[in-house]
Protein backbone atom coordinates (compact mmCIF):
# COMPACT_ATOMS: atom_id res chain seq x y z
CA UNK A 1 0.00 0.00 0.00
CA UNK A 2 2.75 2.50 0.86
CA UNK A 3 4.38 1.99 -2.55
CA UNK A 4 1.18 2.95 -4.33
CA UNK A 5 0.77 6.04 -2.16
CA UNK A 6 4.41 7.00 -2.68
CA UNK A 7 4.02 6.47 -6.40
CA UNK A 8 0.94 8.71 -6.44
CA UNK A 9 2.65 11.39 -4.37
CA UNK A 10 5.71 11.16 -6.64
CA UNK A 11 3.62 11.68 -9.78
CA UNK A 12 1.55 14.50 -8.31
CA UNK A 13 4.59 16.32 -6.87
CA UNK A 14 6.19 16.10 -10.33
CA UNK A 15 2.95 17.46 -11.84
CA UNK A 16 3.04 20.39 -9.41
CA UNK A 17 6.67 21.10 -10.33
CA UNK A 18 5.88 21.00 -14.07
CA UNK A 19 2.90 23.29 -13.48
CA UNK A 20 5.11 25.80 -11.66
CA UNK A 21 7.68 25.58 -14.43
CA UNK A 22 4.99 26.07 -17.09
CA UNK A 23 4.11 29.36 -15.37
CA UNK A 24 7.81 30.33 -15.31
CA UNK A 25 8.48 29.42 -11.69
CA UNK A 26 12.21 29.84 -11.05
CA UNK A 27 14.58 27.06 -9.93
CA UNK A 28 11.76 24.61 -9.27
CA UNK A 29 12.74 21.46 -7.41
CA UNK A 30 11.15 18.53 -5.60
CA UNK A 31 12.78 17.36 -2.38
CA UNK A 32 12.01 13.82 -1.15
CA UNK A 33 11.46 14.24 2.60
CA UNK A 34 9.28 11.16 3.14
CA UNK A 35 11.94 9.15 4.97
CA UNK A 36 12.73 11.86 7.53
CA UNK A 37 9.39 13.51 8.32
CA UNK A 38 6.11 11.73 8.75
CA UNK A 39 3.73 14.44 7.60
CA UNK A 40 4.43 14.51 3.85
CA UNK A 41 6.46 12.78 1.14
CA UNK A 42 7.73 15.73 -0.92
CA UNK A 43 8.38 19.45 -0.79
CA UNK A 44 7.96 21.23 -4.11
CA UNK A 45 9.88 24.52 -4.00
CA UNK A 46 9.78 27.30 -6.59
CA UNK A 47 10.32 31.05 -6.82
CA UNK A 48 8.20 33.81 -8.30
CA UNK A 49 8.89 37.36 -9.41
CA UNK A 50 5.98 39.06 -7.61
CA UNK A 51 2.62 38.42 -5.93
CA UNK A 52 0.69 38.25 -9.21
CA UNK A 53 3.17 35.67 -10.53
CA UNK A 54 2.87 33.73 -7.25
CA UNK A 55 -0.92 33.62 -7.65
CA UNK A 56 -0.61 32.48 -11.26
CA UNK A 57 1.70 29.62 -10.24
CA UNK A 58 -0.70 28.58 -7.44
CA UNK A 59 -3.71 28.57 -9.76
CA UNK A 60 -1.86 26.50 -12.39
CA UNK A 61 -0.76 23.95 -9.80
CA UNK A 62 -4.23 23.63 -8.29
CA UNK A 63 -5.88 23.25 -11.71
CA UNK A 64 -3.43 20.57 -12.89
CA UNK A 65 -3.48 18.57 -9.65
CA UNK A 66 -7.28 18.38 -9.84
CA UNK A 67 -6.99 17.18 -13.46
CA UNK A 68 -4.17 14.71 -12.76
CA UNK A 69 -5.17 13.31 -9.39
CA UNK A 70 -8.61 14.68 -8.52
CA UNK A 71 -7.01 16.19 -5.42
CA UNK A 72 -7.67 19.57 -3.85
CA UNK A 73 -5.45 21.28 -1.27
CA UNK A 74 -6.06 20.59 2.39
CA UNK A 75 -5.14 24.21 3.00
CA UNK A 76 -3.46 27.17 1.36
CA UNK A 77 -1.50 29.65 3.46
CA UNK A 78 -0.17 33.06 2.45
CA UNK A 79 -2.67 33.86 -0.32
CA UNK A 80 -2.27 37.56 0.41
CA UNK A 81 1.47 37.39 1.05
CA UNK A 82 4.01 38.87 -1.30
CA UNK A 83 6.83 36.70 0.08
CA UNK A 84 5.64 33.11 0.48
CA UNK A 85 2.73 30.80 -0.16
CA UNK A 86 2.16 27.20 0.91
CA UNK A 87 -0.19 24.70 -0.74
CA UNK A 88 -0.66 21.60 1.44
CA UNK A 89 -1.90 18.48 -0.32
CA UNK A 90 -1.03 16.15 2.55
CA UNK A 91 1.09 13.78 0.46
CA UNK A 92 3.18 16.73 -0.77
CA UNK A 93 3.55 20.42 0.07
CA UNK A 94 4.26 23.24 -2.37
CA UNK A 95 6.27 26.30 -1.27
CA UNK A 96 6.18 29.32 -3.58
CA UNK A 97 8.61 32.02 -2.51
CA UNK A 98 9.67 35.37 -3.83
CA UNK A 99 13.42 35.18 -4.53
CA UNK A 100 14.54 37.07 -1.41
CA UNK A 101 12.49 34.96 0.99
CA UNK A 102 13.54 31.75 -0.70
CA UNK A 103 17.16 32.72 -0.18
CA UNK A 104 16.42 33.61 3.46
CA UNK A 105 14.66 30.31 4.31
CA UNK A 106 16.94 28.26 2.05
CA UNK A 107 14.99 25.00 2.21
CA UNK A 108 17.48 23.46 -0.20
CA UNK A 109 20.23 23.81 2.41
CA UNK A 110 17.97 22.67 5.26
CA UNK A 111 17.08 19.47 3.37
CA UNK A 112 20.39 19.10 1.47
CA UNK A 113 20.89 15.53 2.69
CA UNK A 114 17.62 14.40 1.07
CA UNK A 115 17.20 13.18 -2.52
CA UNK A 116 15.97 15.54 -5.22
CA UNK A 117 13.33 14.10 -7.57
CA UNK A 118 14.15 14.49 -11.26
CA UNK A 119 10.65 15.73 -12.02
CA UNK A 120 11.48 16.78 -15.59
CA UNK A 121 11.98 13.14 -16.52
CA UNK A 122 9.20 11.83 -14.30
CA UNK A 123 6.29 11.54 -16.73
123 residues of the chain, pLDDT tens digit each: 233 345 788 899 999 999 999 999 999 999 999 889 889 999 999 999 999 999 999 999 999 999 999 999 999 999 888 899 999 999 999 999 998 899 888 988 889 899 998 888 755
**What is the predicted pLDDT for the residue at 122?**
54
> Which runs of E-coded beta strand occur in the chain?
26-32, 42-48, 75-77, 84-88, 92-98, 116-117
- Going by DSSP bridges, is the β-strand pair 75-77/84-88 parallel, antiparallel, or unpaired? antiparallel
- Going by DSSP bridges, is the β-strand pair 84-88/26-32 parallel, antiparallel, or unpaired? unpaired
Task: Say which CATH superfamily domain 2-121 falls into.
Answer: Beta Polymerase, domain 2 (3.30.460.10)
**What is the predicted pLDDT for the residue at 5?**
41
Amino acid sequence: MKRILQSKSNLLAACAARSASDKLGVETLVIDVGDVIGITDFFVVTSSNNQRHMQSIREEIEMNIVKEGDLKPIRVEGKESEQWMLIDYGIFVVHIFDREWRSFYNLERLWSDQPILDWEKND
